[in-house]
Amino acid sequence: MANKKGGGKREGGSGTALIGNGRRSAATKAESPDSRFPISDSPRPSAGLTRDQKLDLYYWMRLTRTLEERLVALYRQTKVVGGLFRSLGQEADAVGSAFALERRDVLSPLIRNLGSMLVKGATPLEILRQYMAKGDSPTRGRELNIHFGDTDRGFIGQISPLGDMVPVMAGVTLTFRMRRQDRVGLVYVGDGATSTGAFHEGINFAAVQRLPLVVIVENNGYAYSTPIEKQTAARQFVDKAIGYGIPGAQADGNDVLAVYDVTRQAVDHARAGGGVTLIELMTYRRKGHAEHDNQSYVPAGEIDRWAAENDPINRYLGVIRESLGATEAEIAGIDARVAAEVDAATDEAERSPPPQPLDALVGVYADPPGERPLWFREGSDRAVDVNERAEGWGTWSSRTGSA
């Protein structure tokens, strides 16, 4: 739980720690050789990334942060009509983990995983339209913020009740197995969602079925205002893996390469038929639950320490300067590209039209595809005649309100 108090960097090395070995009860089942976490002595997968790929990791993190900063500006101009949820300080865990998936794999993001959606192909334009409730947003104005998905691009839209996406992703990966597809699922939950029944039922079901699913618990210290001490009596969230009979691993969530490594190893394990892995990524939520939250519950100095000492983007800048020899011009070039993309997307999103009210009535069911407006809604006279006024119905006319 050092992340709560500290702000210090975590150990480097492989960035992963083997916690628990997923041993099953010997009384009912012989220990299976692949029930141990397979990664301890394998080389770091990130060693196989090209220089361009490593620079891409920086690009995706920078894009996440710049896009969110733009959203803050739009929020203050009241152009973001609902709440705004930041992932400041958590960009590495979202980006590094999604980067470990193949294009055909499917993830289910949570509210701090804008970065993972961008890696999976969501565009800044979609995000901006979505926050600004535009008619051509991915959900046509029906849903909030980053609550949207696209199964073709491999991300499934989350809902607000926490933990629900775990059983849903169990079903997605169950389908992969039934169809003998070489595909893996990844689902994110926060520290708070581990307390829900849905999390437990979903991960247990997936574990029993040995489904190709990776479950990432992003431990960012707080669930809204609730610190992890009030969320669990467990020493650390990764310990829960033992109870499910699955491997667990913990990694520094602010080290994007460590996140990539641990996720990639779990993904490979799942792809090889090894079943579910629980990964705890240690990170820190530097902003409130949403933009309105003043974080009065956070001890003084804690946020500043994390910002100064353990910012994932600053840390990775050090890595790419030192180990990739990235020049300042190269980095500035990426930053400029990100800024230009966000500017262009903002201009386009601002031009997008709002949804038409009648669009609200379409698409609850495949059949019937739409509802007619209720009689009391202005402009609904014809619909009343068609829909609500029974044949041969009395003498009162809804059209004129008179006999």
Partner 1 sequence: MAEVTYLEAIREALVEEMDRDENVFCMGEDIGAYGGAFKVTEGLLGRFGESRVIDTPISEIGIVGAAAGAGHMGMRPVVEMQFIDFIANAYDILTNYVATARYRAFLPCPMVVRGPSGGYVRGGPFHSQNPEAGFIHTPGLKVVYPATAEDAKGLMKAAIRDDDCVLFFEHKYLYRRIKAEMPAGDHIVPIGKARVAREGKDVSIITYAAPVWKALEAADVVEKEDGLSVEVIDLRSLAPLDDDAIFATVRKTNRVLVLHEDTRTGGIAGEITARINESCFEWLDAPVLRVTAHDIPLPYAPQLEDFVLPQTSDIVRAVRRLAGY
Using CB under 8 A, pick the residue from 64, 130, 137, 173 that binds partner 1.
Answer: 173
The C-alpha atoms of residue 244 and residue 275 are separated, in whole angstroms, by 11
- At 301, give phi and psi (nearest 5°): 90, -20
Size of the site for partner 1 (CB under 8 A): 47
Residue 401 lies near partner 1 (rule: CB under 8 A):
no
Residue 82 lies near partner 1 (rule: CB under 8 A):
no
Residue 201 lies near partner 1 (rule: CB under 8 A):
yes
The C-alpha atoms of residue 403 and residue 400 are separated, in whole angstroms, by 8
The 10 Å CB-count burial string (b at 16+, else e) for 114-145 is bbbbbbbebebbbbbbbbbbbebbbbbbbbbb
Residue 394 lies near partner 1 (rule: CB under 8 A):
yes
Question: Among residues 198 and 334, whose Cβ is nearest to partner 1?
Answer: 198
Residue 197 lies near partner 1 (rule: CB under 8 A):
yes
Q: At what angle do helices 312-322 and 91-98 cross, to 10 degrees?
A: 60
The three-state secondary structure class of 139 is coil
CB of 246 to partner 1, least distance (A): 14
Using CB under 8 A, pick the residue from 36, 79, 142, 271 that binds partner 1.
Answer: 142
Residue 273 lies near partner 1 (rule: CB under 8 A):
no
The contacts of residue 3 (CB under 8 Å, 6+ apart) are: 219, 221, 282, 283, 284
Residue 148 lies near partner 1 (rule: CB under 8 A):
yes
Residue whose C-alpha is closest to residue 323's, from 40, 57, 39: 57
Using CB under 8 A, pick the residue from 6, 38, 82, 157 that binds partner 1.
Answer: 157
Residue 149 lies near partner 1 (rule: CB under 8 A):
yes
The C-alpha atoms of residue 303 and residue 345 are separated, in whole angstroms, by 31
Cα–Cα distances in angstroms (integers) from residue 33 to residues 24, 37, 158, 274, in the given order? 11, 10, 35, 10
Contact window for partner 1 (CB under 8 A) among 30-38, 166-174, 231-239, 287-295: 166-174
Question: Among residues 202 and 247, whose Cβ is nearest to partner 1?
Answer: 202
CB of 168 to partner 1, least distance (A): 4
Contact positions toward partner 1, by CB under 8 A? 139, 142-143, 147-149, 151, 156-157, 159-161, 164, 166-176, 178, 197-198, 201-202, 204-205, 208-209, 363-368, 388-395
